């Protein structure tokens, strides 16, 4: 779909939704992310039309995205629920999975200010040392706010994974990994099944259940004037063990060679601050378990990218770059298991 065609569809959708003439002034796609396409949309409306803002974000789950096919429902639900939390998240407005509207599942949300610092060393938005402790404190505080949110009382989340319990949440995530492997692998990968069996044998009981972000790390939040303004990229969110997010954020892939959790804090400091914020003791062994699972999930992302590039005809060369990392990432899964046994 051309941007001109998308502009026309957005104008028609919002005009119908808001009951008055709404026109797209400018629409620009941001060259970020491997999955959902992100557009900045500037709007002009007739007087009396209740636009929440003149500049919004449109996110669309395109057919050639990394995890296609998509649904907008889950991201919209969790972000709507978290508007009642102090955690910094963009406000959401409308969503639909009806492809007749914009050609793909989508949701509109607030356009938060700031830029996303990246994991890679030397990146333009790399947090400088004197800012790391401040941002790290906010990074931990936001995670604690997410994990302590009373999701059971949120009407938006009443149908979320009703069969997940503290006893089976780890095993449930292992089976998610196996399902993804069967969906994405183009050839047998014995290391995946070996790691899945190890994860099944060592699956811990969770001390509690919470909303898990699923991709909580540097690169997925915006910073403006030393303040984290929004946590982004909620497509992997689910109900599970809070240690999942601790294990994911601690992966070496996100420290850019700094040795710091998400280039922000030493691991011990990260855990200590989390304990202080939540009042919960961090079980490092459980975090290490979820570190193995997180590395496996990264390897599965590499396999998904390979399938997208080779079989789906995507022209995004970044998919090919991700695909080349699958062997090394699976080797890291082996090393992590060897280290914790």
| Residue pLDDT, tens place only, 214-241 | 999 999 999 999 999 999 999 999 999 9
Q: Distance of alpha carbon 191 from its chain centroid, rounded? A: 25
Q: Among the listed ranges 28-32, 51-55, 96-100, which one has the minimum average pLDDT value? A: 28-32
Contact 111, 57 (CB under 8 A): yes
Does 33 have pLDDT greater than 80? no
The reply to whether CATH 3.40.190.10 applies to domain 3-110 is no
Task: Give the predicted TM-score (pTM) of the model.
Answer: 0.94
Contact 58, 106 (CB under 8 A): yes
pLDDT band at 127 (very low <50, low <70, confident <90, very high): low
Does 312 have pLDDT greater than 70? no
Contact 78, 156 (CB under 8 A): yes
* Percent of the chain with pLDDT strictly greater than 90: 82
Say which residue the tokens 């990229």 belong to: 233
Q: What is the mean pLDDT of the chain?
A: 93
**Residue 146 confidence (pLDDT):** 98
| Residue pLDDT, tens place only, 47-96 | 999 999 999 999 999 887 888 889 999 999 999 999 999 999 999 999 99
**Residue 201 confidence (pLDDT):** 98
Give the angle 146-168-159 at the CA atoms, nearest 5°: 55
**Residue 120 confidence (pLDDT):** 67
Does 128 have pLDDT greater than 70? no
pLDDT band at 194 (very low <50, low <70, confident <90, very high): very high
**Residue 50 confidence (pLDDT):** 93
d(CA 249, CA 217): 5
Mean pLDDT computed over 91-105? 97
The reply to whether CATH 3.90.740.10 applies to domain 129-340 is no
| Residue pLDDT, tens place only, 132-167 | 889 999 999 999 999 999 999 999 999 998 899 999
Mean pLDDT computed over 97-121? 91
d(CA 41, CA 24): 7
d(CA 313, CA 307): 9
**Residue 323 confidence (pLDDT):** 86
Q: How many CA atoms lie within 13 A of 102 on its CB side?
A: 26
d(CA 313, CA 150): 43
d(CA 341, CA 338): 5
Does 126 have pLDDT greater than 70? no
pLDDT band at 313 (very low <50, low <70, confident <90, very high): low
Domain coordinates in residue numbering, the chain: 3-110, 129-340
Contact 152, 291 (CB under 8 A): no
Mean pLDDT computed over 312-341? 86
**Residue 124 confidence (pLDDT):** 47
């Amino acid at each position: 779909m051309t941007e001109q065609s998308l502009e026309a569809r957005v104008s028609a959708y919002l005009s119908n939704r808001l009951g008055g003439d709404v026109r797209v002034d400018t629409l620009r796609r941001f060259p970020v992310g491997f999955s959902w396409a992100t557009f900045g949309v500037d709007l002009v409306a007739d007087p009396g039309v209740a636009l929440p803002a003149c500049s919004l974000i449109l996110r669309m789950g395109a057919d050639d995205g990394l995890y296609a096919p998509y649904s907008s429902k889950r991201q919209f639900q969790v972000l709507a629920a978290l508007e009642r939390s102090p955690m910094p998240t963009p406000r959401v407005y409308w969503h639909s999975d009806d492809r007749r509207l914009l050609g793909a599942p989508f949701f509109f949300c607030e356009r938060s200010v700031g830029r996303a610092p990246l994991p890679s060393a030397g990146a333009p938005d790399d947090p400088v040392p004197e800012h790391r402790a401040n941002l790290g404190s906010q990074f931990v505080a936001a995670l604690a706010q997410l994990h302590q949110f009373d999701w059971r009382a949120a009407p938006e989340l009443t149908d979320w994974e009703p069969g997940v319990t503290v006893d089976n949440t780890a095993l449930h995530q292992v089976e998610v990994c196996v399902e993804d492997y069967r969906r994405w692998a183009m050839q047998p990968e014995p290391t995946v099944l070996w790691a899945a069996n190890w994860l099944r044998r060592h699956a811990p009981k969770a001390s509690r259940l919470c909303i898990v972000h699923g991709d909580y790390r540097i690169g997925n939040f915006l910073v403006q004037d030393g303040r984290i303004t929004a946590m982004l990229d909620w497509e992997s969110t689910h109900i599970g063990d809070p240690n999942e997010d601790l294990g994911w954020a601690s992966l070496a892939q996100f420290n850019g060679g700094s040795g710091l959790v998400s280039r922000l804090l030493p691991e011990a400091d990260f855990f200590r601050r989390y304990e202080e914020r939540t009042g919960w003791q961090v079980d490092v062994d459980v975090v290490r378990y979820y570190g193995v699972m997180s590395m496996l999930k990264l390897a599965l992302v590499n396999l998904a990218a390979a399938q997208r590039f080779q079989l789906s005809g995507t022209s995004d060369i970044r998919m090919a770059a991700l695909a080349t990392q699958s062997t090394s990432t699976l080797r890291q899964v082996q090393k992590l298991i060897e280290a914790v046994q």
